[in-house]
Amino acid sequence: MSNELLSTLLQSSKLTNSEKWDAEYESLPVVIAETTATLEDALLKLDEVGGYGYIATWRKNLFAFNTKLLSKRCGLIDENGALLKAARVPKN
């Protein structure tokens, strides 16, 4: 995990620091996947919460991510905390 990406993420007012996750976005876990090589590990971390949460990545690397192939439960945010794909959270 990149400390540079994490510090940039935490500058956003939308994200908060987390003990368990890399960060939290609107109380959902955020895990960092800077490249497609680290995407599988990030998705495995989210499996702990049923896959519901967000993947954070650099906007410049988005061409490598096919958001349609990400789980429908998983959202995507960029380094500035901008929402690129919303996570689908089950209704209680």
| Cα 75 to Cα 6, 8, distances in angstroms | 17, 18
Q: Read off the pLDDT of each residue in 45-66 and give the average, rounded to a whole number.
A: 81
For residue 75, is pLDDT > 60? Answer: yes
Helix (H) or strand (E) holding 84: strand 83-85
Share of the chain above pLDDT 70, in %: 84
Amino acid present at 49: V
Residues 6+ apart with CB under 8 A from 59: 78, 79, 80, 82
Tell whether pTM > 0.75: yes
Amino acid present at 42: A
Look up tokens 């689908």; give the residue: 88
Q: Read off the pLDDT of each residue in 28-54 and give the average, rounded to a whole number.
A: 86
1-5, 46-50, 56-60, 68-72: range with lowest mean pLDDT? 68-72
Look up tokens 């901008």; give the residue: 82
Q: pLDDT band at residue 60, thresholds of 50, 70 and 90?
A: confident
- CA 87/CA 72 separation, integer angstroms: 7
Helix (H) or strand (E) holding 44: helix 39-47
